[in-house]
Amino acid sequence: MIRHNRGLMILALGFAASALAAAPRAPNILFIFSDDHAYQAISAYGEGRRLLETPHLDRLAKSGMRFDRALVPNSICGPSRAVVLTGKYNHLNGFVNNSNSRFDGSQITFPKILRQAGYQAAVIGKWHLVSDPTGFDFWQILPGQGIYYNPPMIRMGEQVKTQGYTTDIITDLSLEWLRQRDKSRPFLLMAQHKAPHREWAPALRHLGADGDRVYPEPDTLFDDYANRGIAVRDQDMSLEKTFTDRDAKFDPPPNMTPEQRKVWEAYYEPRNARFRAANLQGKDLVRWRYQRYMHDYTGTVRAVDEGVGRLLDYLDKEGLAENTIVVYSSDQGFFLGEHGWFDKRWIFEQSLRTPLLVRWPGVSRAGGVSKDLVSTLDFAQTFLDAAGLPAPVEMQGRSLRPILAGNRPADWRTAFYYQYFEWPTPHRVRPHYGIVTDRYKLVHFFGTAEDYWELYDSEKDPRELRNVLGDPAYAAARKHLEEQLVQLRRELKVPAVIPPEWLGRAGGGANKAPKKKQAKQP
């Protein structure tokens, strides 16, 4: 398989070089990717305004297109990133879970094709694919998940020290690279944030930015999981049972300086003392945790939004905006208290659906909104299309250009395939796969003693509270979905039997900084 991939790469790169040479003024590409950013926490999505305002992301949405049904093939960090790079599902790109997968850097990726065709390419920030980046002129990444304060980083294979808040550092490094790049060549910059990943540690300037407001509770905060199977009832990702002392900010983030910790504790300790004195129990305790969670989560989003604004301002100032495609997205969605949960992993909507804002001057309609089924799977082919380059035949997405232009192809997907492997830790979310349409979700939970199916009707049950698989009224819909699912799995080359190691936890681990002499941050 690797030999075959390399042969395809040589052919693809040969086509790429000749195509870009003939293409006039290839566009720059700025790809801003956050981690676990729920669409519910972007005010451009409307419902996000109940939590916070995101003026810079809203600015991007107003000048480009907002996608309301952008879906991920596998709602977990590393696998989602592997999909973006390769344009292939995880069963083909080899990175199936965060437990024991390692990204094969020899395979075809869209940055490699762009770079060989003349683009200057960089990735800065969260990588989370275990192996080192390949196909970039420059890379500086967080090892593993990274931390929020004064993070160690790996720059082109060498460990470096940084000082400050990670979101700001990633934005600073991105701007520095843009200023120092070869301005005679088009660029690809992948600026990839850790935030708002757990444990949601805000920047010091955003502590108290919400004025201790009381956030509105989702109406499923106290979901009792009736009418659904064991998978939903047996998970371990709830505010009630899974929230840790670090999540609650009883423990400060690691690696803070004494000065940073002093400011941190001045904000949190008085509030923590009041919490301890109240001795909350039951639903009152869950409500308190939800409020703390929302303060911290939205705090991390505020810094991401500011970083987006700084990058957009740079493009405007340098006269680059009219020839730069800007994409903002996240590796997946996230639960913000819905069903009593945080985290992701599920085929359910808040996890499956990710934010996607795209500004493509001359192509996207300003203020446009799309409800078509699109995916992070489509990014690679979209970027290659933008550069006038052919996509390798092994890529499984489609260019978003026609959707952005308001010309939805007649054969655009109406059904989407989802899969998740990783059991039992973390969070005890059972392996599952399924099919998603504009109305239905048919899901198969497998890999454990409890092997079963569920069906949801999002039109009549948008909160996904009722499994209607056994309802005779849905017999025809179920049969059609089952047929579509078989066809999709065949087309996408999904193995009929899932290898057991895809569910295990042997091996793997984070990028490890090599044992070299420490280099100071420039």
Q: What is the dihedral of CA 356, 357, 360, 363, to 10 degrees?
A: 80
Domain at 473, CATH number:
3.30.1120.10
Question: Band of the pLDDT at 13, cuts 50, 70, 90?
Answer: low
Q: What is the DSSP letter of 515?
A: S
Runs of H (alpha helix) within 257-370: 258-278, 282-317, 349-352
Residues 208 and 195 occupy one common structural domain: no
Question: Band of the pLDDT at 24, cuts 50, 70, 90?
Answer: low
8 Å CB contact between 444 and 228: no
8 Å CB contact between 409 and 390: no
Q: What is the pLDDT of residue 422?
A: 93
Residues 142 and 175 occupy one common structural domain: yes
| Intra-chain end-to-end CA distance of the chain, in Å | 41
Residue 140: which H helix or E strand, with range? Answer: strand 138-142
Domain final position from 379, 411, 443: 411
What are the tens digits of pLDDT across the range 425-484?
A: 999 999 999 999 999 999 999 999 999 999 999 999 999 999 999 999 999 999 999 999
162 inside domain: no
Question: Band of the pLDDT at 356, cuts 50, 70, 90?
Answer: very high
- CA 373 to chain centroid, in Å, comes to 17
Q: What is the CA radius of gyration of the chain?
A: 22
Q: Please give the structure tokens belonging to residue 75.
A: 């709602």
514 inside domain: no
Give the Cα separation of 359 and 326 in Å (integer). Answer: 5
Residues 341 and 482 occupy one common structural domain: no
Sequence-distant (6+) residues with CB within 8 A of 501 are 100
Q: Is the pLDDT of residue 119 over 70?
A: yes
Q: What is the pLDDT of residue 25?
A: 80
Residues 236 and 337 occupy one common structural domain: no
What are the tens digits of pLDDT across the range 362-407?
A: 999 999 999 999 999 999 999 999 999 999 999 999 999 999 999 9
* Mean pLDDT, range 249-263, rounded to an integer: 98
518 inside domain: no
Give the Cα separation of 335 and 342 in Å (integer). Answer: 5
Residues 134 and 174 occupy one common structural domain: yes
508 inside domain: no
Q: Is the pLDDT of residue 2 over 70?
A: no
Could you tell me what percent of the chain has a pLDDT over 70? 92
Question: Band of the pLDDT at 504, cuts 50, 70, 90?
Answer: confident
Q: Is the pLDDT of residue 521 over 70?
A: no
Distance (Å) of CA 234 to CA 225, 230, 400, 449: 10, 6, 38, 13
Question: Band of the pLDDT at 259, cuts 50, 70, 90?
Answer: very high
Residues 89 and 195 occupy one common structural domain: yes
Q: What is the DSSP letter of 339?
A: G
Q: What is the pLDDT of residue 505?
A: 60
Q: Print the domain residue range for 405.
A: 2-147+167-199+300-411
Residues 271 and 305 occupy one common structural domain: no
Residue 418: Cβ-neighbour burial (10 angstroms; 0-12, 13-18, 19+):
buried
Residues 57 and 189 occupy one common structural domain: yes
Domain final position from 270, 290, 310: 290
Residue 436: which H helix or E strand, with range? Answer: strand 432-437
375 inside domain: yes
Q: Is the pLDDT of residue 4 over 50?
A: no
Domain at 62, CATH number:
3.40.720.10
Residue 146: Cβ-neighbour burial (10 angstroms; 0-12, 13-18, 19+):
buried
8 Å CB contact between 82 and 95: yes
Q: Is the pLDDT of residue 512 over 60?
A: no
Q: What is the pLDDT of residue 513?
A: 39
Bridge-based pairing of strands 65-67 and 356-359 is: antiparallel
98 inside domain: yes
179 inside domain: yes
Residues 130 and 214 occupy one common structural domain: no
Mean pLDDT, all residues of the chain: 93
Number of compact structural domains in the chain: 3
Domain final position from 238, 263, 290: 290
Residues 13 and 143 occupy one common structural domain: yes
520 inside domain: no
Residues 269 and 384 occupy one common structural domain: no
Q: Is the pLDDT of residue 194 over 80?
A: yes
Q: Is the pLDDT of residue 17 over 80?
A: no
Q: What is the pLDDT of residue 469?
A: 98
Give the Cα separation of 217 and 51 in Å (integer). Answer: 10
8 Å CB contact between 341 and 235: yes
Residues 402 and 432 occupy one common structural domain: no
Q: What is the pLDDT of residue 48?
A: 72
Q: Is the pLDDT of residue 508 over 50?
A: no
Q: CB 452: neighbour CB atoms within 10 A?
A: 16
Q: Is the pLDDT of residue 204 over 50?
A: yes
* Mean pLDDT, range 135-160, rounded to an integer: 98
